[in-house]
Amino acid sequence: MNIFRLAGDVSHLVAIIILFMKIWRSKSCAGISGKSQVLFALVFTTRYLDLFTSLISIYNTVMKVVFLSLAYATVYLIYMRFRSTFDSESDSFRVEFLLVPVAGLSFLENYAFAPQEILWTFSVYLESVAILPQLFMITKTGEAESITTHYLFFLGLYRALYLANWVWRYHTEGFFDQIAVVSGVVQTIFYCDFFYLYITRVLRGSGKMSLPMPI
């Protein structure tokens, strides 16, 4: 554990809590992509299959349980509790265009051709693109509420901090996880334009962040 990973975990947790509390307090999931949240729930499920078979640390176990619980609770709020506020027409990204390539790649590029290893690899690849339905939804509607952009900011910050974590581990431990690093770089790239808009618009006091409408 190093400061970059710890800060990354905290940023990730803050992002998920922000989203959950936004939906719970407003009793609305307007502007939130249910498809992205289902993909993130799938990421945690396939990654944390070792939850009941191995104990790395108390911290690791607690974080896994928290992430899984919040992920499925968020999906429940979107598709069950506040379903009437869900904008299914705007949440129209074709997730099969993500799932099929990711599944195929996880069979082709992994560290061991074993079920749990393939599923872990699948989770890493899927996490790198799971935010795309949300970004697509924001682009389609043309704007995002500030609370939603805060969620995306902390989610992107989590990935950026994890990149710093991998650089630190490479220099201090000689550790290099090619699959995780490449996937993390891809995911961080998706946030680059968003980071610029967040800093130049949201942090300057605008209630909503407006984006160019797709042609």
Q: What is the identity of the amino acid at 107?
A: F
**pLDDT, the chain, mean:** 87
pLDDT of 213 above 60? no
pLDDT at 184: 83
49 close to 136: Cβ distance less than 8 angstroms? no
pLDDT at 127: 94
pLDDT digits (tens, 9 = 90+) for 153-163: 898 899 889 98
Considering the entire predicted model, what is its pTM? 0.87
User: How much is the average pLDDT of 46-62?
Assistant: 89
29 close to 82: Cβ distance less than 8 angstroms? yes
* Domain definitions of the chain by residue range: 3-210
- Work out the pLDDT band at 34, boundaries 50, 70, 90: very high
pLDDT of 210 above 90? no
pLDDT of 49 above 80? yes
pLDDT at 215: 40
CA distance 34 to 78: 6
CA distance 36 to 80: 16
Q: How far is CA 203 from the centre of its chain?
A: 22
- Work out the pLDDT band at 142, boundaries 50, 70, 90: low
pLDDT digits (tens, 9 = 90+) for 101-126: 999 999 999 888 999 999 999 999 99
User: How much is the average pLDDT of 48-65?
Assistant: 89
pLDDT of 214 above 70? no
CA distance 203 to 2: 29
pLDDT at 192: 75
- Work out the pLDDT band at 206, boundaries 50, 70, 90: low
pLDDT digits (tens, 9 = 90+) for 73-89: 999 999 999 999 999 99
